[in-house]
Amino acid sequence: MQKYIELLRKPMQVKPESLRAARQKSSSTPPHVYRLNYNESPYGLGPLSEEALEKAIKTPYVYPDWFSVELKTNIAKLYDLDFENVVVGPGSSAMINMLGELFINPGDEFIFGDPSYEAFRDVANDYGAVTVPVPLDDDMNYDLDAMLAAVTDKTKILVVVNPNNPTGTFIDSKKLEDFIRKVPKHVITVIDEAYLEFVTDENCYSMLKLIKEGIDKPLVIMKTFSKIYGMAGLRVGYAITDPVMADHFGKSSNAWNVSFIGQKTAAAATLDQEHVSMVKNINAQERDKVTKVLRSLNCKVYDSQTNFILFKAPIDNMEVYAKLEEQDVLIGAPIGMNRVSLGKPEMNEKFIKIMKEILS
């Protein structure tokens, strides 16, 4: 038996190993290595957020505003919401952990798509929930009917990641709206929109509209500054929900722990929408380019609306991973396939060059 394991909470004593790559090995890499495996934005901060960061780092001795008033106010203005609709936390992973800390009792059922973002499976296991993974179909799309059929009286949380990670695919938002309205009121419906800002298909839009309409059920929309805003290292995530649910989130210590530097940079980032549009447009161009090349190399490529692409090469996925790693390009290797994050054009060109060498 592992030493001191009896001191852990019971769910942690029996928790299975996380499937997240970030939980399995160090993410530390030399500067010359291309990290096309973590879905980071290589374009970094916009001019306003960069200026705010440079100013904030001069006063690291200052405690943050525990209520994050400026940040919440700016997020509310960005989406034309009320201040009371906004919850913030030190990264989207911390926001996900709040779901377990606040709402999960041992034995509660937790429904999610499979494959999807593994942080949700992790938090279910962390707090003793019964995981209910619902397989995606052959095209890596959510089976919403199957998810609805999986709901029981014991279901506490149901999660949809849209667009989905690691597949990059999305659910038609009108269908998702209809689905959310059908979920029973005793279930907390969580929509993770971490990658929504990269979407160019008009059929995929935010479920914030349901919050604005005052939908009468517990609905939580999760978002992040880690992706298109280029702030993954500063750890700022947020959720939009109704004021009563937002007040419940405030009972978690994570809701009070966004750093001073993170708050100031993120608050400014909400005003950097020209930068966001630039990143979105370049990403879309690179996504189309890389998709076409991979398909020309006889790879099965899933249509993506994100800053990454899931593909199945005609050779083993770990061989693809290893050959790219040999030339200082890191990509992901989930679910027997490969996932490549979209970098700057020169980074993507190096990836394409190596892939042509591997598969030619």
pLDDT tens column, 179-229:
999 999 999 999 999 999 999 999 999 999 999 999 999 999 999 999 999
CA atoms within 13 A on the CB side of 156: 20
pLDDT for 42-51, tens place per residue?
Answer: 999 999 999 9
What whole-number distance in Å separates Cα of residue 207 and Cα of residue 255?
A: 22
In this predicted structure, the answer to whether residue 15 has a pLDDT above a threshold of 80 is no
- The CATH fold assigned to 49-269 is Aspartate Aminotransferase; domain 2 (3.40.640)
In this predicted structure, the answer to whether residue 1 has a pLDDT above a threshold of 70 is no
pLDDT given for residue 24 in this prediction: 52
What whole-number distance in Å separates Cα of residue 324 and Cα of residue 322?
A: 5
pLDDT given for residue 313 in this prediction: 98
- The CATH fold assigned to 5-44+273-359 is Aspartate Aminotransferase, domain 1 (3.90.1150)
Average pLDDT over all residues of the chain: 94
Three-state DSSP class for 299? coil
pLDDT given for residue 256 in this prediction: 84
* Mean pLDDT for the stretch of residues 84-97: 95
CA atoms within 13 A on the CB side of 36: 29
pLDDT for 148-190, tens place per residue?
Answer: 999 999 999 999 999 999 999 999 999 999 999 999 999 999 9
pTM for the whole structure: 0.94
* Mean pLDDT for the stretch of residues 35-46: 96
CA atoms within 13 A on the CB side of 212: 9
pLDDT given for residue 25 in this prediction: 57
pLDDT given for residue 14 in this prediction: 80
Place 16 in a pLDDT band, splitting at 50, 70 and 90: confident
pLDDT given for residue 186 in this prediction: 98
Tell me which of 27 and 86 has the higher pLDDT: 86
User: What are the residue ranges of CATH 3.90.1150.10 in the chain?
Assistant: 5-44+273-359
What whole-number distance in Å separates Cα of residue 193 and Cα of residue 162?
A: 6
What whole-number distance in Å separates Cα of residue 342 and Cα of residue 1?
A: 43
Place 26 in a pLDDT band, splitting at 50, 70 and 90: low
pLDDT for 280-311, tens place per residue?
Answer: 999 999 999 999 999 999 999 999 999 999 99
* 285 Cβ contact list (under 8 Å, min separation 6): none
Are 232 and 38 in contact by the 8 Å Cβ rule? The answer is yes
For the four alpha carbons of 328, 333, 336 and 338, in that order, the dihedral sign comes to: negative
User: What are the residue ranges of CATH 3.40.640.10 in the chain?
Assistant: 49-269
* Mean pLDDT for the stretch of residues 322-326: 97
pLDDT for 262-277, tens place per residue?
Answer: 999 999 999 999 999 9
In this predicted structure, the answer to whether residue 257 has a pLDDT above a threshold of 80 is yes
Place 2 in a pLDDT band, splitting at 50, 70 and 90: confident
Q: What percent of the chain lies above the pLDDT cut of 90?
A: 89
Tell me which of 336 and 23 has the higher pLDDT: 336
H-run or E-run covering 189? strand 188-192
In this predicted structure, the answer to whether residue 22 has a pLDDT above a threshold of 70 is no
* Mean pLDDT for the stretch of residues 6-33: 72
pLDDT for 99-144, tens place per residue?
Answer: 999 999 999 999 999 999 999 999 999 999 999 999 999 999 999 9
